[in-house]
Amino acid sequence: MYKKPLCFLLPMILLALLLTSCGSAAPSGTYVWIDVPIDGLSFPDVQPVMVQGHATGDNGVSRIELFVDGEPWIAVEDPPVDDNLAWFEAEWLPPGMGTFSIHAVAYGTNDVASSPDAIEISFGVETPTPVITVTPVISITPTITNTPTPLPLPEASVSFWADPETIDAGNCSDIHWQAENVKTVVFGGVEQEMEGVFNTCLCKNETYTLTVTHQDDSVEKLKVNINVVGNCADTTPPPAPNQTGPGNGSSLSCRSYQDVSWGAVSDESGISQYQVNAQRHSGDNNWTNVAGSVFTSIPGTSYHMYVECGWYYRWQVRAVDGEGNIGPWSGWWKVVDNLN
């Protein structure tokens, strides 16, 4: 990944103090990074810039916050997810010429913040006011000379490659470019320096393009492919199911068995089983587990549960996906099995 300039240290420290002002958070598996623009970019004039990036967390990402020079800019709630990576994009227009820092912070579903990622970009260059110097007019008798023949344009040299070209899913590759004797190079939709590198981490094959404008204004597009082997591991658990019956707070006539049911949930790795946790008390509100609870390996969306007359029951359900990720419990639903 890119090393950030030393000037980022003070904003990053201030941001870290702000995030931890209500108590220190334990380290978490939540990470965020800004893909575009690349750190250190300089634009000749003030213009809109598209800011894009990704985030990941052990249990998903609930929110991504962006800051400009340490001040809140925008928050993305429940960011969209593609191949297990949350992503964000937002267009930003600088207030004027100057150098600005943009920070990104991601929050996991447990509301623990990631370490911030930051870039610095500049807009415009101050030009000193020209000084007009009046010089005396000297009359010179022109001398007829031969007009020199224009020299041919120097030969352009452009290289564009990925290192490595093949990676395992979830790993990263560096994309390099070097150019000489050309007018401009554009990567990621932004004009770049003649030599640069871009780091990217992928879960699927990707193609990147470098657009080169030559001295004669002709345009050349070079492409590089990164091949991804395998798939990114599914570490996201399925959501909690919604209970459907019997209704929460139901009063039942005396019986020995009661079916409890819930709606099916989906997960990209499939659902391998559901689990039911059941508790009861005889009227003293001292809840204890029903014998055999937690009930596991339930293939469908209902469970035939043994009950006794005169007891109060409550139950909850959760799902387990095909990769063994265990989802959260649903809320408690209560029923009473009356004596008659």
pLDDT tens-digit map of 156-178 = 999 999 999 999 988 999 999 99
137: confidence class by pLDDT, cuts 50, 70, 90: low
Which of 57, 58, 107 is CA-nearest to residue 325?
Answer: 58
pLDDT at residue number 52: 95
Whether the pLDDT of residue 13 is over 50: the answer is: no
Residues 268-316 have pLDDT tens digits of 889 999 999 999 999 999 999 999 999 999 999 999 999 999 999 999 9
Tokens of 46: 């003030």
Backbone angles phi and psi of 287, in degrees to 5: -70, 130
Q: How far is CA 278 from CA 86, 229, 296, 334, in A?
A: 35, 44, 12, 10
Instruction: Return the H-helix or E-strand segment holding 9.
Output: helix 9-19
CA 186 to chain centre: 24
Distance (Å, rounded) from C-alpha 243 to C-alpha 245?
6
Q: Cβ contacts of residue 172 below 8 Å, gap of 6+? A: 1, 199, 200, 201, 202
Q: Cβ contacts of residue 231 below 8 Å, gap of 6+? A: 169, 203
Question: The whole model's pTM is what?
Answer: 0.41
Instruction: Return the H-helix or E-strand segment holding 16.
Output: helix 9-19
Number of alpha carbons in the 13 Å side-chain half-sphere of residue 73:
21
102-132 burial, b for 16+ CB within 10 Å, e for fewer? bbbbbbbbeebbbebbbbbbebbeeeeeeee
CA 336 to chain centre: 46
Whether the pLDDT of residue 127 is over 60: the answer is: no
pLDDT at residue number 279: 98
Structural domains in the chain, CATH included, are: 6-123 (2.60.40.10), 157-229 (2.60.40.2470), 243-337 (2.60.40.10)
Q: How far is CA 340 from CA 90, 252, 303, 323, 337, in A?
A: 63, 9, 23, 45, 9
- Is residue 48 classed as helix, strand or coil in its secondary structure? coil
Residues 224-236 have pLDDT tens digits of 999 999 888 888 9
Distance (Å, rounded) from C-alpha 283 to C-alpha 312?
7
Question: Is-contact 334 313, C-beta < 8 A?
Answer: yes
Cis peptide before 79 (omega within 30 of 0): no
Position with higher pLDDT, 50 vs 140? 50
Position with higher pLDDT, 132 vs 337? 337
Mean pLDDT on 171-193 = 95
Bridge partner residues of 85 (DSSP): 82
pLDDT at residue number 15: 46
Question: Is-contact 51 66, C-beta < 8 A?
Answer: yes
Distance (Å, rounded) from C-alpha 119 to C-alpha 89?
15
Q: What is the DSSP letter of 288?
A: E
Whether the pLDDT of residue 201 is over 90: the answer is: yes
Q: Which of 55-69, 125-139, 143-157 has the lowest mean pLDDT?
A: 125-139
Backbone angles phi and psi of 15, in degrees to 5: -65, -40
Tokens of 51: 């800011």
Distance (Å, rounded) from C-alpha 110 to C-alpha 301?
27
Q: Which of 26-30, 105-109, 207-211 has the lowest mean pLDDT?
A: 26-30
CA 86 to chain centre: 4
Question: Is-contact 7 92, C-beta < 8 A?
Answer: no
pLDDT at residue number 152: 78
Distance (Å, rounded) from C-alpha 267 to C-alpha 60?
13
Cβ neighbours of 93 (radius 10 Å)? 9
Q: Which of 12-21, 87-96, 118-127, 176-185 has the lowest mean pLDDT?
A: 12-21
Question: Is-contact 221 209, C-beta < 8 A?
Answer: yes
20: confidence class by pLDDT, cuts 50, 70, 90: very low
Q: Which of 184-188, 202-206, 229-233 has the lowest mean pLDDT?
A: 229-233
Tokens 């079916």 belong to residue: 259
**If you average pLDDT over each of 168-172, 202-206, 257-261, which comes out highest?**
257-261
Tokens 């991504």 belong to residue: 64
